[in-house]
Amino acid sequence: MSGIEYSSDATNVLDLFYRCDAVVYVEGDDDVPFWSIAFKVFADANVEVQSVGGAVELDKIIDRIVDEDLKLIAARDSDFIRLTGADKKEERVLYTYGYSIENTLYCHRSLSQISSVWCRQYRADAQVCREWLEGFFERFKVLIAYDVACHVFEKTFSALGDNCTRFMDGEKSIFIDAKKLESKISEMEGKMNQQELAYAQSLIDGHGVNYSFHMKGHFLASAAQKYLSAKLKDHGRGNSISFESMYSSAIEFVRGNFKKLPGADYYSSQIKSAMQKLDAL
């Protein structure tokens, strides 16, 4: 289905085949709208974005882009790659500003606006959402660092996982259970030494990106879903919002507000550099 099975010559004319400005390969289906919007917003480019079914397959394409000098672009989640300096220094290989696209999709501005629309409020209560989200990030600050340390030192376990439910007061609660959180921190303290944690914290501090952007995307999305569901219940609009609906609403928010979000300059710079590199090939 994708250019990974094409010869170099065939791959280099895919943009002509699709009648687009560039062909961009991404990890999964959720990444397709995000990067399509990013290229349109920051470079006014119409791109053909295709999912390849995961990071492993995308990394194979990235290797081909570099080794064979292909006229393609690859855009992947940063995970902890940029943070640890393992990113490819190649204009045609793009990375998310935070851990994943979710770290851009689910910010206090997007969540408050989605809430106001779904709850039929006149005005989005951005300050309430900001305080809740900042408090959420602050409480998990140490575990974010432990997650980085787990990656750097190749541990077989992680600190946060992909869902925040086990740390909350209840399955649908937006409030953190202090005992559950402290129990996990104590567990991590027993598994890792303070030198490993300190090294991870130094990477975060020196990266120039707020530590909250290093929270795993699925973990953050699970918290965002709980917040929006709680708001719906408070306003008598139902008991929950699906991940699919939340994602769709967040994508539409980003479409109209991308240039105002944290990391906008980063996306703008790397996308323009990628398009310039293609023009030079």
Residue 189 and residue 149 in contact, taking contact as beta carbons nearer than 8 Å: no
pLDDT of residue 14: 67
- Whose tokens are 């989005």? That residue is 124
Closest CA to 247 of 51, 33, 78, 76: 33
Residue 126 CB burial class (10 angstroms; 0-12, 13-18, ≥19)? middle
Domains and CATH numbers, the chain: 3-97+265-280 (3.40.50), 106-258 (no CATH)
pLDDT of residue 3: 45
How far apart, in whole angstroms, are the C-alpha atoms of residue 93 and residue 73? 6
Instruction: Say if pTM beats, i.e. exceeds, 0.85.
Output: yes
pLDDT of residue 2: 47
pLDDT of residue 1: 41
Residue 121 and residue 235 in contact, taking contact as beta carbons nearer than 8 Å: yes
Residue 157 and residue 150 in contact, taking contact as beta carbons nearer than 8 Å: yes
Residue 134 and residue 251 in contact, taking contact as beta carbons nearer than 8 Å: no
- Whose tokens are 């851990």? That residue is 99
Q: In what order do the strands lie in the sheet with 22-26?
A: 47-51, 22-26, 73-76, 93-95
Residue 145 and residue 201 in contact, taking contact as beta carbons nearer than 8 Å: yes
How far apart, in whole angstroms, are the C-alpha atoms of residue 94 and residue 262? 17
pLDDT of residue 189: 97
Bridge partners (DSSP) listed for residue 25:
50, 74
For the chain, residues with pLDDT lower than 50 are 1-3
